[in-house]
Amino acid sequence: MEDCIFCKIANKEINSEILFECDEFFLIKDIKPVAKLHYLAIPKQHYARFEDAKDGLESLRKIFETIPTLKQKLGLDDGYRIIINQGKNARQAVQHVHVHILGGQDLGEKIVAETQN
Ligand code: 5GP
Ligand code: ZN
């Protein structure tokens, strides 16, 4: 999709080091890491929300299936956390579904959300 940063990376219009790639998705480092290791697994198909995936969620299935096989290469043997932001309350910034994979350190509290009074 035009003007989508992740589509541009997928189409190689923007240069980014791709650590893994298959028919369904590719994996890069997040440009602004929030943990020692912070990767993004990004479906090649453009869709902003799960419900928008016209051809189904095969790409997400493939991502979840593949991550364990990349654990050693990515330095995630001691565990990792997966986050997917969807929509406004999650402050999804890039409107192209992507899976955050955090690791390389103790990630602290299991559930992170700022409380509001
Ligand atoms: P969201 O808030 O949408 O879940 O996360 C978007 C993520 O994409 C952010 O963590 C941000 O740092 C990352 N990001 C945005 N633009 C780029 C880029 O051009 N390259 C890479 N590698 N990461 C990006
Ligand atoms: Zn896109």
Write out pLDDT tens, residues 1-48.
889 999 999 999 999 999 999 999 999 999 999 999 999 999 999 999
Distances (CA, A) of 32 to 16, 40, 45, 102: 13, 11, 23, 12
43: tokens are 């479906």
This prediction's pTM: 0.95
pLDDT at residue 94 in the model: 98
**Contacting residues for 78 by C-beta, under 8 A, at least 6 apart:** 103
Which residues lie with the beta carbon below 6 Å from any ligand 1 atom?
5, 16, 28-32, 40, 85, 91-94
Residue in 87, 90, 70, 78 with CA at minimum distance from that of residue 29: 70
Active site residue 38: no
pLDDT in tens, 44-72: 999 999 999 988 899 999 999 999 999 99
Could you tell me the distance, in angstroms and rounded to a whole number, from the CA of residue 60 to the centre of ligand 2?
15
